[in-house]
Amino acid sequence: MSFRLFDAPLREPSQFVGFAGNRIDRQSENRADDAVEKALADRTTRLMLMHAGRLYLKLDDGKFDPWFDVAESEAFDVSLDRGVLLGFSDAGPVLAVPAGIEPEDLPETVKAIDYRSVYMQGLIDEAAAGALAQGAALLAWHASHAFCSKCGNRSEMRAGGYRRHCPACGTDHFPRTDPVAIMLTATREKCLLGRGRHFAPGMYSALAGFIEPGETIEAAVRRETLEEAGIRLGRVVYHASQPWPFPYSLMIGCFGEPLNEDIQADLNELEDCRWFFRDEVRTMLERTHAGGLITPPKGAIAHHLIRAWVDSE
């Protein structure tokens, strides 16, 4: 018997999802407490500026540029002391920094665009979108964890933004990543798609839900599918993952094998949930569906799960 574990193709499915193109060398083993200070003194340092879920983009000749140098950033009410060091690119250190100017007060040449639109509309390259996912998640965590959860005193940023330290009780707190299972339940002929109440018109997607403490990925996939659709799953296999900075999740995409057919949708969560045959799903992917139904856009991991299944015949 041959050793099968690493026989999978080198082109990992995760490489093709939105926010997956991060090229930053994080150098996580040597993040000193003065790492941000040092980076800000470096003339090669580039900053991403973020404010209330939006990324500032310089608009130059119809192209968007997400990178500012330290001197440029000072016109945007930045909090450099609350910046986080994402790591190092070939060009030098890379930071994400909270900025304070409201979108309507920005100069003509700078736009503040919400993260989702930045990635959906492909306004920046994949490497920058990856940096955005990293920076947005870290800044969101700092913004909501200013106080020690053990003693209630104000904590301080350390290790370039990868830790918060409480000077009162000495506890260290670390950035969190919340795992979410997203799963496509499918047989050879058909797959299960649902419509959330907040979805864009006509959109159907894979079901998803947070993985809970004490739960394996597979158990979460089975539980969520049973709760949301009344479908029991047999085998569950992992396909791909996606950093998802809303605010700091990791989407974990799986396929599940259904054991029953009769759907009992949880109508508190879903507006609709049903089986779709392969040919219909293909038209949804290609935006040629007669009834105007669609699947999520290309950057979304759900798109890649659905595409991989449609192409698997």
Residues of this chain that interact with Zn ion (CB under 5 A) are 148, 150-151, 166, 168-169, 171
Q: How many CB atoms lie within 10 A of CB 115?
A: 22
CB nearer to Zn ion: pick between 92 and 170: 170
Tell me phi and psi for residue 42, to 5 degrees: -90, 125
- The C-alpha R_g of the chain, in whole angstroms, comes to 22
Give the residues across from 193 on adjacent strands.
Answer: 274
Non-local CB neighbours of 279 within 8 Å, separated by 6+ positions? none
What's the token pair of residue 5?
């574990």
Q: Shortest approach of Zn ion to residue 152 CB, angstroms? A: 7
Q: Shortest approach of Zn ion to residue 173 CB, angstroms? A: 9
The type of residue at 13 is P
Q: Shortest approach of Zn ion to residue 160 CB, angstroms? A: 21
Q: Shortest approach of Zn ion to residue 293 CB, angstroms? A: 51
Q: Shortest approach of Zn ion to residue 151 CB, angstroms? A: 3
CB nearer to Zn ion: pick between 150 and 235: 150
CB nearer to Zn ion: pick between 105 and 172: 172
What's the token pair of residue 110?
């700078």
CB nearer to Zn ion: pick between 169 and 267: 169
CB nearer to Zn ion: pick between 131 and 148: 148
Q: Pick from 115, 146, 83, 159: which is nearest to 248 by CA?
A: 115
The span from the CA of 107 to the CA of 99, in Å, is: 14
